[in-house]
Structure 1
Amino acid sequence: MRQPDIEIYLKDADQQAVTAWLEQAIGPCTPWQRKGQTFKCLSGDIEVTWLPQAVGKWHSLYLESDATPWADDLACAQAAHAALGVEVRCSPGSWDEKLGEEDADRWLRVSDEGVTEIAWRTG
């Protein structure tokens, strides 16, 4: 099932490299516009938000559309890892508050070792 949006976390990723990857994967990017702590652009027709150091060395990349080339966060994370060579984390699926706090700490780690489920306490 296709997710309504995509959010991944990239460790020590370079914003320019991410921009180049988005342009190749989705379409041309408008210049980044800084809004407080975040940066926003359009890649093709998709609104993109970049939050540097959202969680320590981890940068958040949020794609506000269900029309990305990826059906879910994991597919995007795998593509980002392959293109950028950095560790990427994402949630295992859409999270809902009804699932409780324990499930909020369940994450997927995409690295050179493949995909593994981890506990990541971000709060």
Structure 2
Amino acid sequence: MTDNQRHPDIEIYIKDRSLERITRWLEEICSAVTREFEQGQVHHFNGVIDGQKVPIMIHEKVSGKAWTSVWFNSDKTPWIKDLDCAEQAARELDTQIRCIASGWTSGDDPDEWWKVEQGNIEKINWQS
């Protein structure tokens, strides 16, 4: 997958932010957010972004207690790739965000991630 090719979905990992804070952030970037259902620490929402309905799943405590996954299950987002979303989320949530370094193409290193924090972007190895 090339650097400017649109990812089919967007997933970021947010450090040390509550479900309530992440939900407020979603309400800031979506014109509408509805909670569909939840099961334990997995929360399903539908958001409307630029007139497009986007399924969103939030999974709390996915890697230790610090990390929450936010998955936008659509290519109809304002971000071309995960890193674009990570940069915006890091600014607006004022915390560290991580996302996969590539678009999950066969042969990619699954432990290679982007770490975005305070305007800095660094490629790291992140192993569970």
Q: Is the TM value for this pair above 0.5?
A: yes
Which has more helix, going by share of residues?
A: 1
* 2:48 is the alignment partner of 1:40: no
How much has 1:14 moved relative to structure 2? 1.8
User: Cα offset for 1:37?
Assistant: 3.6
- How far apart in 2 are the matches of 1:53 and 1:32? 20
Query: Unaligned 5+ residue runs, structure 2?
Result: none
CA distance in 2, matches of 1:81, 1:113: 8
The letter for the 1-side match of 2:30 is I
Give the RMSD, CA atoms, in angstroms.
1.4
TM-score in terms of structure 2 length: 0.86
Q: Percent identity?
A: 33
Q: Are 2:114 and 1:99 aligned?
A: no
What is residue 75 of structure 2 aligned with on the other side? 66
Shift in Å, 1:43: 0.9
Code of the residue aligned with 1:11 in structure 2: it is: K
TM-score by length of 1: 0.89
Q: 2:84 aligns with which of 70, 75, 80?
A: 75
CA 1:32–1:15: 2 relative to 1, 3 Å: farther
Query: Partner residue of 2:6?
Result: 2
C-alpha spacing 1:32/1:83, structure 2 compared with 1 (3 Å): farther
Partner of 1:51: 59
Shift of 1:29: 0.8
